[in-house]
Each structure stands twice: as C-alpha cells, then as structure tokens.
Homo-oligomer: A and B are copies of this chain.
Amino acid sequence: MTQTQDRSRTFSWSDPGINAAQLGRRSGLDLLRAMIAGELAAPPIMHLVDMARMEAEEGWVAVELVPQEFHYNPLGTVHGGVISTLLDTAAGCAVHTTLPAGVGYTSLDLNVKFLRPVTVDSGTLRCEGTVLQRGRRTALAEARLTDTRGRLIAHATSTCLLFPVDAPTRA
C-alpha cells in the first residue's frame, strides 16, 4: 500500500472467501497463526485500516496501528470507528483463539470507551485483547488500546456467541 503526498492511497487485498472456507476445519489459534505466518491471507479489513503485526496466544491477541491522516474525522483526530475496529478485532480474535475446530463465533456487541484523542503524533498504537470468561455458549473479551507511552487510549468489552460449525466436506 502506498500513501502519496497528494493525499491518495492505494491498497490491495485477497479473495476473503479462501480464508472463510477454513473456518470450522482448524482451531482458531491455528487459523490466526497461519495468517500471522503469511500462510493464509490477512482479511481485507486489515488492509483497509492498515492494521499490522498481529500476535496470538491462547486467550490473547495483540495488533498494531500507526495513526494516519486518512483515519481522521472532521474534528482532526482519528475517527472513533477506526479505534472501534482495532478493539473489535482484538476482542473477537482473542475469543477465536480459544475455539477448537468445529466451533464458530460472532460478536454480539462492542462497548467502547474513548479516553484520549489520537492523532498522527500519537505514534504506534497497540491493542491487546484478552478473554475474561469463556463459557459454553458465550465468551466475554476485553480490549485495551495504548499509545507508545503506555497510556490507555480506549477500552472495550465484547460478548461473542459461540455455536457449532459444520466443517465443509470439500473445500
């Protein structure tokens, strides 16, 4: 992806159907690690918003974002939707890391608290998602967005619904 002086940016992505076809066939942690290793393509949203450097452990993920002018709202700061995208990604993927093959999830909600404005001067943001509770039918995750000085920029909780997924018999 490129960002030129004249305020234009081009980004690319891959067919998201290829990854989606893997869902339910492998554990969530396997899928996320294959994506991190570059064996599976990152989803379009990663390219759209320019998230990068994901890490994943059981019950935990991290992802980063360098704030850029194309993230801005009319107030001259990074739009709350971009911050929400980071938090939703970290919370949802943290839940995904706890799911075995055959279990899918969907986010029921996202409760975001915006604590500090973000600008291009904020430096790289780091967003960590952690599972607070993992039940049979639902899971609760928390996400924290911090700046390079470690200050809390935004916070979110998200409840995910868990359900059985039939693995496709053929790709």
Write the residues of chain A forming the contact surface with B, with a CB cutoff of 8 angstroms. 6-17, 19-20, 23, 31, 35, 43-45, 47-49, 69-76, 79-82, 84-86, 88-89, 92, 104, 106-115, 117, 132-133, 135, 137-138, 140, 152, 155, 157, 159, 161, 163
CA distance A88 to B73 in the complex (A): 11
A157 touching B159 by the CB < 8 A rule?
A: no
| CB-CB under 8 A for A80 and B7, given A16-B72, A135-B115 | no
A82 touching B81 by the CB < 8 A rule?
A: yes
A108 touching B113 by the CB < 8 A rule?
A: yes
Nearest Cβ distance between residue A164 and chain B, in whole angstroms?
12
Which of B19, B73, B88, B109 has a CB less than 8 Å from the CB of A109?
B109
A45 touching B20 by the CB < 8 A rule?
A: no
Among A31, A35, A49, A117, chain B packs the most CB atoms within 10 A around the CB of: A49
B80 touching A92 by the CB < 8 A rule?
A: yes
B70 touching A109 by the CB < 8 A rule?
A: no
CA distance A159 to B75 in the complex (A): 16
Q: Which B residues touch A6, using CB under 8 A?
A: 12
Name which residue of chain B comes closest to A152, CB basis. B133
Nearest Cβ distance between residue A153 and chain B, in whole angstroms?
9
Q: Which B residues touch A7, using CB under 8 A?
A: 12-15
List 20 other contacts, CB 8 Å, given A9-B12, A110-B110, A133-B155.
Answer: A7-B12, A9-B11, A20-B74, A43-B79, A45-B72, A45-B73, A45-B81, A48-B49, A48-B71, A75-B106, A80-B92, A80-B107, A84-B88, A84-B110, A109-B114, A113-B159, A132-B155, A133-B152, A140-B155, A159-B159
